[in-house]
């Protein structure tokens, strides 16, 4: 017997066939535009290979900024010197050597999977909405086979999490460098932007489903020992953060792009980074 308030699955029909009356297409469209814009921007910056660092000790950038604290874009940190590469690979930037790790973390994220399967592959485009029978010239069946075959790599998510946690250490260290000026400790708008970025990335990582599993998901119940209480506390925090994982995913995505953009503007001399303290 049909339940009141439920919506029947899309009957056989073309793409977009549905009985839904709400604006179901807003979510996939916003995801496609937002995530797509970030992919285009980050790819451009990874190949741009310039104006990603500044200040004391920077290997690149204008001399006029040598009295500034050291700042580096999150796309290029940790910075890997490219001296070992042959000439034929001169087009490779330091960002290209490291971005596979955070990119892999985002691509295999449980939330992003749902979002980009809908936005980019229309599979499904939304609940109870008809799917296209073919995509980019390929016929498509309707049998759900799980994340197997080509999609088996999605199971690597927990390993990408470990790498992402390591990257947080590098980015936090960068914030420390951004606060070390020739005259001693100092805080600028740029260092605050970098600090906000690593904070949002930390919230994104610690709200991860795999992180929640790592800190408390493997046990039937928590013991009352010291370690059990610590695990319970961590699991409680991760659970609270996990409820807003989508929010942290988007805020941290925006902050990474904005931090790179800000450092690009300062390193190129377009704006001056204002020292507050
Ligand atoms: S589930 Fe989204 S980062 Fe792990």
| Domain membership flag for residue 214 | no
Range of the domain at 132: 26-136+143-207+244-267
Beta bridge partners of 185: 180
- According to the model, what pLDDT value does residue 83 have? 86
| Domain membership flag for residue 225 | no
Q: Which two tokens stand for residue 133?
A: 């029978």
Which range has the worst mean pLDDT, 14-23, 86-95, 100-109, 143-152? Answer: 143-152
User: Counting atoms of ligand 1 from 1, which one is nearest the CA of 208?
Assistant: 4
Each residue of 21-49: pLDDT tens digit? 899 999 999 999 999 999 999 999 999 99
Whether omega for the bond prior to residue 223 falls within 30 degrees of 0, making it cis, is no
Helix, strand, or coil here: 66?
A: coil
Exposure letters 218-246 (e unless 16+ CB within 10 A, then b): eeeebeeeeeeeebbebbeebeebbeebe
44 Cα: distance to centroid of ligand 1 (angstroms): 25
**What percent of the chain clears pLDDT 70, i.e. is strictly above it?**
94
How far is C-alpha 18 from the chain's CA centre? 32
- According to the model, what pLDDT value does residue 142 have? 67
43 Cα: distance to centroid of ligand 1 (angstroms): 21
Each residue of 229-271: pLDDT tens digit? 998 999 999 999 999 999 999 999 999 999 999 999 999 999 9
| Domain membership flag for residue 17 | no
Q: Which two tokens stand for residue 202?
A: 């930390």
- According to the model, what pLDDT value does residue 216 have? 85
Domain count, the chain: 1
- State how far the Cα of 116 lies from the Cα of 103, in Å rounded to an integer: 14
- According to the model, what pLDDT value does residue 266 have? 97
63 Cα: distance to centroid of ligand 1 (angstroms): 41
135: confidence class by pLDDT, cuts 50, 70, 90: confident
- State how far the Cα of 198 lies from the Cα of 5, in Å rounded to an integer: 43
Of 102, 107, 157, which is best to mutate to test ligand 1, by the most ligand atoms within 8 angstroms of its C-beta? 157
Q: Provide the CB-side half-sphere exposure for 264 (13 A, CA).
A: 17
- pLDDT at 2 > cutoff 50: no
Dihedral of CA 49/276/249/176: which sign?
positive
- According to the model, what pLDDT value does residue 190 have? 98
Dihedral of CA 38/43/48/52: which sign?
positive
- According to the model, what pLDDT value does residue 13 have? 67
Helix, strand, or coil here: 274?
A: coil
Of 109, 200, 215, which is best to mutate to test ligand 1, by the most ligand atoms within 8 angstroms of its C-beta? 109
224 Cα: distance to centroid of ligand 1 (angstroms): 29
Each residue of 185-206: pLDDT tens digit? 999 999 999 999 999 999 999 9
1 Cα: distance to centroid of ligand 1 (angstroms): 37
The number of helix segments (H) and strand segments (E) in the chain equals 9, 6
Residue pointed to by tokens 């989508």: 246
- According to the model, what pLDDT value does residue 94 have? 96
Nearest to 204 by CA among 125, 118, 114, 102: 102
What's the mean pLDDT in 52-75?
Answer: 93
- State how far the Cα of 77 lies from the Cα of 55, in Å rounded to an integer: 15
What's the mean pLDDT in 62-81?
Answer: 94
Beta bridge partners of 184: 181
- According to the model, what pLDDT value does residue 261 have? 98
- pLDDT at 4 > cutoff 80: no
User: Counting atoms of ligand 1 from 1, which one is nearest the CA of 112?
Assistant: 2
Nearest to 208 by CA among 243, 170, 236, 250: 243
| Domain membership flag for residue 31 | yes
Each residue of 81-105: pLDDT tens digit? 998 899 899 899 999 999 999 999 9
- pLDDT at 160 > cutoff 80: yes
48 Cα: distance to centroid of ligand 1 (angstroms): 28
11 Cα: distance to centroid of ligand 1 (angstroms): 33
Of 35, 111, 248, which is best to mutate to test ligand 1, by the most ligand atoms within 8 angstroms of its C-beta? 111
* For ligand 1, atom 2: residue with the closest CA: 109
- pLDDT at 7 > cutoff 90: no
Determine phi and psi for 138, rounding to 5 degrees.
Answer: -100, 130
Of 116, 206, 210, which is best to mutate to test ligand 1, by the most ligand atoms within 8 angstroms of its C-beta? 210
- According to the model, what pLDDT value does residue 14 have? 77
| Domain membership flag for residue 86 | yes
What's the mean pLDDT in 128-140?
Answer: 81
Q: Which two tokens stand for residue 47?
A: 């190949």
| Domain membership flag for residue 197 | yes
Ligand 1 interacting residues, C-beta cut-off 6 A: 109-111, 157, 208-210, 245
- State how far the Cα of 167 lies from the Cα of 201, in Å rounded to an integer: 10
Which range has the worst mean pLDDT, 68-82, 115-129, 144-158, 229-243? Answer: 144-158
- According to the model, what pLDDT value does residue 1 have? 41
Tell the burial category of 21 from Cβ atoms under 10 Å away from its Cβ (0-12, 13-18, 19+): exposed
User: Counting atoms of ligand 1 from 1, which one is nearest the CA of 164?
Assistant: 3
174: confidence class by pLDDT, cuts 50, 70, 90: very high
């Amino acid at each position: 017997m049909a339940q009141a308030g439920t919506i029947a699955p899309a009957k056989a029909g073309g793409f977009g066939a549905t009985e839904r009356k709400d604006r179901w297409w807003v979510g996939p469209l916003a995801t496609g535009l937002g995530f797509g814009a970030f992919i285009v921007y980050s790819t451009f910056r990874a190949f741009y290979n310039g104006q990603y660092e500044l200040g004391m000790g920077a290997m690149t950038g204008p001399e006029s900024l040598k009295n500034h604290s050291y700042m580096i874009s999150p796309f290029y940190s940790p910075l890997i010197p490219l001296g070992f590469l042959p000439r034929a690979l001169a087009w490779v930037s330091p960002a290209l050597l490291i971005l596979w790790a955070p990119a892999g973390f985002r691509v295999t994220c449980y939330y992003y999977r749902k979002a980009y399967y809908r936005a980019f592959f229309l599979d499904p485009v939304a609940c109870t909405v008809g799917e296209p029978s073919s995509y980019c010239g390929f016929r498509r069946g309707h049998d759900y086979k799980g994340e197997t075959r080509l999609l088996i790599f999605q199971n690597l998510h927990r390993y990408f999490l470990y790498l992402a946690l390591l990257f947080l250490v590098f980015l936090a260290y960068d914030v420390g460098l951004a606060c070390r000026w020739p005259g001693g400790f100092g805080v600028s708008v740029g260092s605050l932007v970098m600090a906000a970025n690593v904070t949002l990335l930390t919230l994104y990582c610690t709200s991860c489903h795999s992180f929640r599993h790592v800190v408390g998901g493997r046990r039937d119940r928590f013991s009352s020992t010291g370690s059990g209480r610590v695990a319970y506390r961590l699991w409680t925090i991760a659970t609270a953060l996990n409820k807003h994982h989508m929010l942290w995913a988007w805020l941290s995505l925006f902050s990474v792009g904005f931090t790179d953009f800000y450092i690009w503007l300062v390193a190129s001399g377009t704006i001056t980074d204002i020292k507050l303290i």
